[in-house]
Amino acid sequence: MKMIPKFFVLVIAVMAAILGASGSCYGQISSGQAAPAFSLKDLKGRAYDLSQMKERPMIILYFFDVESRPSQEGLLSLDQLAKQYKEADITVLAITLSPREKVAKFVESSGLLFPALLDGAKVSDLYQARQILPAVCIIGQGLKVLDYFQGGGKTTETMLVRVAERELQRKQTKLAKAISDEVIKKNPENVKAKAVKGYAALKEDKLVEAEGTFKDLSQKGAQGEIVGKEGLVAVYARKGETEKALQLTKEVEQKAPDRAYVHVIKGDILYGQDKKKEAESAYQTALQKKEGELYQEAVKYNQMGRYYASAKQYSKAREYYDQALTVDPYYIEGTTNKGLTYEKEGKWEKALESYRQALALEKTDSFAAILAKKAQEMIELQKDVKRKERVDQLVKELAARFRGQKEAPKKVEDPWTSSPMVLTFVDFQEKGGLSERDGFSSVMMSQLADHLNGSGRVKVVERVLIERLLEELNLGSSELANPETALKLGRILAAKLIATGSLFYLPQGTLLSLRLIDTETSAIPQVTTRQMPPQASLEKELFQLNREILKTVITKYPLKGYVVKVSGDQAILNLGSKQGIVSGAKFEVIEEGEEIQYKGKPLRSSPKLVGRVEVVRVEPELCYAKILDQARPFRTDDKVQERAEEMALR
């Protein structure tokens, strides 16, 4: 037996120590654990305390050596991107053990945007970032470790791709594409970077760009072919080319039987074709597959959850939403979807908790904000005993009227003076595919109600009252689809208009159909049909819809009233804020045309214009209007009618 020289024994011992240290870093810094806390100062003495950054969506700790160019490569790439995309919410802390003077020289020469922190507290040891540099730790919200990398070269490339994937999860598509482009520039064969670029374009609804990227990717070897064709399946499904998507799905299944995402898309297509059992089977198959891109994993759990939520199996749905959030902590869709399952069970506190978690992920998410506001209002109602009693009593009275075929009592008023314009929303039908995000109809009605109430011109019946009434009457979507039932509800609620319609979910967006129905005449003064792309701004779409409804109200139902009193250059009208009057509204003062008898039949000519007035001050039941012009002096009881064509939308 040969003896091993002492020199080699020493080398082996040293290598073992190094590898042991390296191995321990992976063991101690792992995904899901709490990031070790620390507080360090930059060159100017400003302190950065990690424990104070819990609300940051993502933090990148980058440990490097100012004298090692390879250890700086990833840092400088991120710095360049941060300078280019200043609107991007990217937080990087550059941490080094290097001497202060050398760090200062590096910061000055590189123009580093990120704070360079001097490690005098052995933070590098906490993060096992002494032996191998760079060491990069990606931390998510709540200071949980998401990813950990050590080493430059290929590892830096892998780290940058992972950051791009995380940014794609956060819906930061521009930054995700920019990081991917940076990687592709240095390595055109990087399949994962190209995939991120393609899916980022798809999220931006840039289908031509996405299709081109995936076609190019499908030519990049065996792995590129699979990932590229999988991306093309997503593109064809979005374009509505379902047969083309399903055919390519079969090809991907045959060549890569362990890929999951194509089965999710297949499930979505089948659900949209009303083949719900087949869709469930496809989603279940997706759950059994283990291969897929990081930003696709949560979707398969979410869609399974959506399937069970649509079948009112809310507890089971939450199990899948929780799994979606486990694999993707930025998955805001699963967070609000989970809240909606609690909402449908009347568990408003838990619903609000989920919506607040979603807002913590993305403060500007209007979807979560609207749902949170609604949940908060419901909680306050439950705590306000007297108000709850009033609502309960009113619901019972309305339900009794509905069952007894009795409409709301009408006040005896003159037929000319306008009453307040009351509108109620009746349940919108949700049809078509299984959208990734639940609750669109609820969000739409809540936000439109706020917009319309805010205009002052329309008063919307409280949503809580309608929901309680529907619950009391046990009316579901199928009954509400009956126009007679909807009209009856509107009349019971003393609403002049009801707004109803449907939301049809398509791969290329949501098709909205909205109708306004006059409860007195059954006439339909407005029909709106519009398709909203997947990435459309919800706030912008609802604001435009609000304007269209107001325009219909103003043009089809102009306010009418009387001159109550005239004083100098001012007239007082019997219309106020209760009817929706605002300063700046203009009215025509008119007198009825002469009635002519012809063959025993009275004929009346068009009203005659006497003059015009503009409202300058409003009280609840009357307003003061400046006289603009007059053909004769105005008199008490002169009729006035709103000049709808000049009425500014509010």
- Least confident interval from 227-236, 350-359, 602-611: 602-611
Neighbours of 33 (CB within 10 A): 12
Find the mean pLDDT for residues 387-404. 88
- What distance in Å separates the CA atoms of residue 364 and residue 352, rounded to the nearest whole number? 16
**Mean pLDDT for the chain?**
89
Determine, yes or no, domain membership for 33.
yes
Based on the fold, state whether residues 2 and 22 are members of the same structural domain.
yes
Determine, yes or no, domain membership for 208.
no
Find the mean pLDDT for residues 264-284. 96
Based on the fold, state whether residues 548 and 603 are members of the same structural domain.
no
Predicted confidence band of residue 140 (pLDDT cuts 50, 70, 90): very high
- Least confident interval from 399-413, 428-442, 624-638: 399-413
Domain boundary among 92, 122, 152: 152
Q: Is the pLDDT of residue 401 over 90?
A: no
Based on the fold, state whether residues 390 and 521 are members of the same structural domain.
yes
Domains in the chain, number: 3
Kindly report the CATH number assigned to the domain that includes residue 90: 3.40.30.10
Determine, yes or no, domain membership for 74.
yes
Domain with 565 in it: 560-646
Q: What global pTM score does this model have?
A: 0.85
Structure confidence at residue 409 (pLDDT):
63
Structure confidence at residue 25 (pLDDT):
38
Determine, yes or no, domain membership for 377.
no
Structure confidence at residue 148 (pLDDT):
97
Radius of gyration of the chain (CA): 32
Structure confidence at residue 17 (pLDDT):
38
pLDDT in tens, 3-33: 444 433 333 333 333 333 333 333 468 888 9
Q: Regarding beta strands 421-425 and 497-506, do their DSSP bridges make them parallel or antiparallel, or are they unpaired?
A: parallel
Nearest to 136 by CA among 121, 112, 152: 152
Determine, yes or no, domain membership for 452.
yes
Q: Is the pLDDT of residue 391 over 90?
A: no
Q: Where are the alpha helices (DSSP H) in 434-476?
A: 440-455, 463-473
Determine, yes or no, domain membership for 368.
no
- What distance in Å separates the CA atoms of residue 302 and residue 320, rounded to the nearest whole number? 6
Based on the fold, state whether residues 544 and 597 are members of the same structural domain.
no
Contact (CB, 8 A) for 178 and 84:
yes
Find the mean pLDDT for residues 637-642. 95
At how many degrees (to 10) do helices 297-310 and 314-327 cross?
170
Q: Where are the alpha helices (DSSP H) in 328-365?
A: 332-344, 348-361
Predicted confidence band of residue 232 (pLDDT cuts 50, 70, 90): very high
Q: Is the pLDDT of residue 330 over 70?
A: yes
Kindly report the CATH number assigned to the domain that includes residue 413: 3.40.50.10070
Structure confidence at residue 113 (pLDDT):
93
Structure confidence at residue 539 (pLDDT):
84
Structure confidence at residue 27 (pLDDT):
41
- What distance in Å separates the CA atoms of residue 588 and residue 613, rounded to the nearest whole number? 7
Based on the fold, state whether residues 438 and 404 are members of the same structural domain.
yes
Contact (CB, 8 A) for 191 and 220:
yes
Q: Is the pLDDT of residue 258 over 90?
A: yes
CA distances from residue 236 to 47, 245, 262, 294, 635 in whole angstroms, order as listed: 51, 5, 12, 21, 69
Neighbours of 37 (CB within 10 A): 12
Domain boundary among 94, 120, 152: 152
Nearest to 575 by CA among 558, 590, 552: 558
pLDDT in tens, 35-65: 999 999 999 999 999 999 988 889 999 999 9
Q: Is the pLDDT of residue 482 over 70?
A: yes
- What distance in Å separates the CA atoms of residue 77 and residue 219, rounded to the nearest whole number? 28
DSSP string computed for 595-623: EEEETTEEEEPPPEEEEEEEEEEE-SS-E
- What distance in Å separates the CA atoms of residue 302 and residue 431, rounded to the nearest whole number? 18
C-alpha triplet 455, 456, 457: angle, nearest 5°: 90
Find the mean pLDDT for residues 354-366. 92
The total number of residues shown for the chain amounts to: 650
Structure tokens at 346: 């009347």
Based on the fold, state whether residues 58 and 130 are members of the same structural domain.
yes
Structure tokens at 650: 């509010």
- What distance in Å separates the CA atoms of residue 229 and residue 219, rounded to the nearest whole number? 10
DSSP H/E element including 61: strand 58-64
Kindly report the CATH number assigned to the domain that includes residue 565: 2.40.10.410
Based on the fold, state whether residues 397 and 541 are members of the same structural domain.
yes
Q: Where are the alpha helices (DSSP H) in 85-186?
A: 100-110, 123-126, 154-169, 173-186
- What distance in Å separates the CA atoms of residue 114 and residue 102, rounded to the nearest whole number? 16
Structure tokens at 439: 């609750």
Based on the fold, state whether residues 99 and 84 are members of the same structural domain.
yes
- What distance in Å separates the CA atoms of residue 216 and residue 583, rounded to the nearest whole number? 60
Structure confidence at residue 87 (pLDDT):
75
Higher pLDDT among residues 582 and 284, named by residue: 284
C-alpha triplet 51, 55, 59: angle, nearest 5°: 75
Strand-pairing partners, residue 506, are: 509
Structure confidence at residue 106 (pLDDT):
96
Determine, yes or no, domain membership for 282.
no
Q: What is the DSSP letter of 170?
A: T
Find the mean pLDDT for residues 460-471. 87
Instruction: Please say whether the dihedral angle defined by the alpha carbons of residues 90, 91, 97 and 101, taken in this order, is positive or negative.
Output: positive
C-alpha triplet 247, 252, 255: angle, nearest 5°: 130
Find the mean pLDDT for residues 570-582. 94
- What distance in Å separates the CA atoms of residue 501 and residue 549, rounded to the nearest whole number? 14
Based on the fold, state whether residues 571 and 447 are members of the same structural domain.
no
Contact (CB, 8 A) for 57 and 141:
yes
- What distance in Å separates the CA atoms of residue 22 and residue 547, rounded to the nearest whole number? 62
Structure confidence at residue 645 (pLDDT):
56
DSSP 3-state of 72: helix
Q: What is the DSSP letter of 130?
A: S
Determine, yes or no, domain membership for 284.
no
Predicted confidence band of residue 412 (pLDDT cuts 50, 70, 90): low
Based on the fold, state whether residues 566 and 514 are members of the same structural domain.
no
Predicted confidence band of residue 487 (pLDDT cuts 50, 70, 90): confident
Q: Is the pLDDT of residue 342 over 60?
A: yes
Domain boundary among 99, 120, 152: 152
- Least confident interval from 98-107, 128-137, 639-648: 639-648
Based on the fold, state whether residues 18 and 103 are members of the same structural domain.
yes
Based on the fold, state whether residues 395 and 536 are members of the same structural domain.
yes
Structure confidence at residue 403 (pLDDT):
86
Contact (CB, 8 A) for 469 and 392:
no
